[in-house]
Amino acid sequence: MGFVLALGLVSLLADATYEGARSVAGPYLAILGAGAAAVSIVSGAGELLGYALRLLSGYWSDRLRSPWTLAFAGYGLNLLAVPCLALTGRWEVAAALLVLERVGRGLRTPVRDAMLSHAAARVGAGRAYGLHEALDQVGAVAGPLVVALVLALTASHRLSFAVLLLPAVGALSALEWARRRFPHPRALEADTAVAVDGALPGRFWVYLAGVSLLAAGYADFPLIAFHLRQAEVLGPSAIPLVYALAMGVDAGAALLLGRGFDRIGVKVVALAALTASLGVPLVFLGGVGAAVAGAMLWGVGMAAQESVLKAAIVGMTPVHRRGMIFGLFDAVHGVFWFLGSVALGLLYERSIPALVLLATGLQVAAAAVFLLVSLRENRAS
């Protein structure tokens, strides 16, 4: 549990940095001259590159003598790209930095998730990933609140990005403390042999199909923020507040979903996907109250994707291949997130109701697949 808390502190400060930036990335790109399709494609491209790199970084992490080297490289790139946004004057440069931030996150995430899984095997996968996500989202709430305050006081996006240098440095310092305190994370877990003859169980691949559907149907927040601003549902300073609220819901939901996962398994993931699907029409078709409620449901879905969606992998995979498998999971998730982002961005400019229909349908289909995986688990037990 000490290791879970140590990585949670790192994630808290890291999320304060890049989630603060992401809360206003869409409007900032629009101010610099980008359109809706560009905002969505930039967001999707960042996710695509970041998630594709996770396949390689996960593979490397299983073979490196120490996973900390890759973790530091990824966190450094992920965090330091954010304050550099304060120096930009063109949307193309800002877009490149946002993509670079996602690339850094892609390098370090499978390494972190694999290290966390070693502790999760002892304290409960749902509990470990749920607690980590809750701490993660404390930072995700604080960052947008700081950005909202700076915008309210100065109306300067650039200054709001510059302020985020402070939590970025704090996160890197906390990572060094965690490395010194827990130099060999894999020693926390005994080796297991879930796979037979190197093959992963069939339910893993079915589960991965559900993950793909969920990712493809999930609108990224920059597109949501773009819509809320363009449709004049919310003002510039209110959008990061709504994002902070969604992240707060994410934190609370992660704890509840984690406890539920340790009791009833993948059924919790299906329930979260169904809940999140209800938020799509509220965000894109409703007024202020509906948009706020939809953003809260969006936060529930994000909690599932960052906690119990990963916790399920621990029980399906062997410890010595965990980094590569988390990398595969993340790469598939990212590819379908990108494809979905492109589709949703293009649909937004043509028909918002069609966007709502596609996004909702894909999330409901994902919930059905997760229920199928749950049934398979029950039969196996």
Q: How far apart, in Å, do the first and last CA atoms of the chain sit? A: 28
Report pLDDT digits (tens) over 219-241: 888 788 888 888 888 877 788 78
Residue 186 DSSP class: G
User: What pLDDT is stored for residue 193 in this prediction?
Assistant: 43
Burial classification of residue 198, based on how many CB atoms lie within 10 Å of its CB (0-12 exposed, 13-18 middle, 19 or more buried)? exposed
Tell me the C-alpha to C-alpha distance, in Å, between residue 267 and each of 256, 260, 296: 13, 9, 21
pLDDT digits (tens, 9 = 90+) for 64-81: 777 888 899 999 999 999
pLDDT tens track for 166-190: 999 999 999 999 898 888 877 776 6
In one-letter notation, the amino acid at residue 326 is: F
| Among 137, 171, 124, CA closest to 265 | 124
In the chain, which residue ranges form alpha helices assigned H by DSSP?
A: 2-22, 25-31, 36-63, 68-80, 91-123, 125-154, 157-163, 165-181, 202-216, 221-230, 238-264, 267-277, 279-285, 288-306, 308-314, 322-348, 352-380
- Hey, what are 124's tokens? 């409960």
Mean per-residue pLDDT of the chain: 84
d(CA 170, CA 71): 15
Instruction: Tell me the per-residue pLDDT of 262-294, one tens digit each, with 9 for 90 and over.
Output: 888 889 989 999 999 999 999 999 888 998 999
- pLDDT band with cut points at 50, 70 and 90 for residue 380: low
Give dist(CA 246, CA 337) in Å, integer: 19
Residue 199 has phi, psi (to 5 degrees) of -95, 135
> Of all residues in the chain, what percent carry a pLDDT higher than 70?
95
**CA torsion angle for 123, 119, 71, 83 (degrees, to 10)?**
20
Q: Which residue has the tokens 């202020």?
A: 288
Q: Which of 229, 231, 230, 227 is nearest to 219 (CA)?
A: 227
Cβ-contact 276, 297 below 8 angstroms:
yes
Q: Which residues contact 212 (CB under 8 A, 6 or more apart)?
A: 332, 333, 335, 336
Query: Could you report the per-residue pLDDT of 88-97, keeping only the tens digit for each?
Result: 878 888 888 8
Q: What is the rounded CA–CA span in Å between residue 328 and residue 318?
A: 14
* Residue 334, pLDDT above cutoff 80: no
Residue 375 confidence class, pLDDT cut points 50, 70, 90: confident
CA 353 to chain CA centroid, Å, is: 26
Is the separation of the CB atoms in 8 and 135 below 8 Å? Answer: yes
Question: Token digits for 272?
Answer: 């979260």
- What CA–CA distance (Å, rounded) separates 239 from 89? 22
- Paired tokens of 153: 């006081």
118 compared with 284, residue with greater pLDDT: 284
| Amino acid code (one letter) for 163 | V
> Residue 381 — very low, low, confident or very high, per pLDDT cuts 50/70/90?
low
Fold for the domain defined by 2-380: Growth Hormone; Chain: A; (1.20.1250)
Nearest 5 degrees, angle CA 52-CA 212-CA 341? 70
